[in-house]
Structure 1
Amino acid sequence: MHPGEVQRIQIFVPKVRMTFNTLEDAAKFYKDYAKAAGFSTRVWSTNKKENEIKNQLITCSKEGKWKSKISSTEKTNPSASLNCLARIYIHILKNVGVWIISKVVLHHSHSCCPNQAEMLKQYRELSMSVCRTIENNEEAGIRPGKTYQSFVAAAGGHHELNFIEKDVRNYITREVKNVSELDDAKEFGKYLLRMKKKNQIFFFELELEDDQLIKLAFWADARSRAVCEYFGDVISFDTTYNTNRYNLVCNSFVGVNHHSQSTLLG
């Protein structure tokens, strides 16, 4: 669509009305269609009555006019406002309790690229295994760029990934570097409780300071307790001495039994 061209928008009511049990199902249907067509969506407006949603408007993410802060005379590569009007209207049928798509606008003011849809922000995601690798690499001091390139190499190319390097850097900033000591203490306590729930023989003691930071912690799993009972007393005293980014002070001596002798640290 060229600047100054009148955009003809065709709004139509579907002849065969699809029904959905929930608003989320209807929104997911349009999101799946958008991904296949090569564009992303966003909820533009939601109308409620007595705290109950009655209808919702979902548009193309490029809806609306964008005004640049740079004057048109200074632009080296000027572009027209997108103002895309592709959208759907969803509302609930009274006395039936089902949702329908009542109106649809399919025309876009821009080109859509189905083969590049996974690179749109709405569809990019980091799996649990990817997040774990990012955390481990960050802990080891590996640069985000190197981490991302390792994913590229393992997948066989950039196009085989459904995320970009920016997503890796954002995850490090948002999830890794902003972890507080208080959150660490809470998560550690939850972990000990989960282990106890899995096996009642698991034993732990956790004591927190007044500010909810860890003062002392001790735990022993079922195997360790059985070995201790069979072979005798065991002392474990591991030391880190503020060597990691959490400034954790944890000391450890390693005991000796008749099978092997371990180095004693102090």
Structure 2
Amino acid sequence: MHVRRTIENNEEAEIRPSKTYQSFIAAVGGHRELSFIEKNVRNYIMREVQNISKLEDAKEFEKYLLRMKEKNPNFFFEHELEVDQSIKIAFWADARSRVACEYFGDVISFNTTYNTNMYNLVFDSFVGVNHHGRSTLLGCALMKNEDIQSFK
């Protein structure tokens, strides 16, 4: 429990895992006295600590979308959460993008080539072309799966 708490506290303080591991080595007097390696520290952070952060990040993202809606009633968003409260699907478009969609939404490019590793969500952009021939952002989405139901 002491080791876990130390790892969690150091991660929160943004201390690198290698430094955390070195502190354990110094505390016990050498590598041979530890029953784990640096990779175990990194795995614990990825599996336990960052998983908690991901769920907190999903809650903060939802709060952000609600604040944007409060600031501007023309801001639009919809989202769906998984059972564990992580993001399944989120779509949003600010007021400017919604107006641009009315004018330049005849042809819309939907791009799903951006994949974020940390959250395993695909970032999708909806892009139109304005009267100057320049791309204009019409909306954004995050999706956990690229299946037909998610696209609907």
TM-score for both structures, normalised by structure 2: 0.49
More helix by share: 2
Structure with max Cα Rg = 1
Q: Which has the higher contact order (CA 8 A, sep 6+)?
A: 2
TM-score for both structures, normalised by structure 1: 0.30
More strand by share: 2
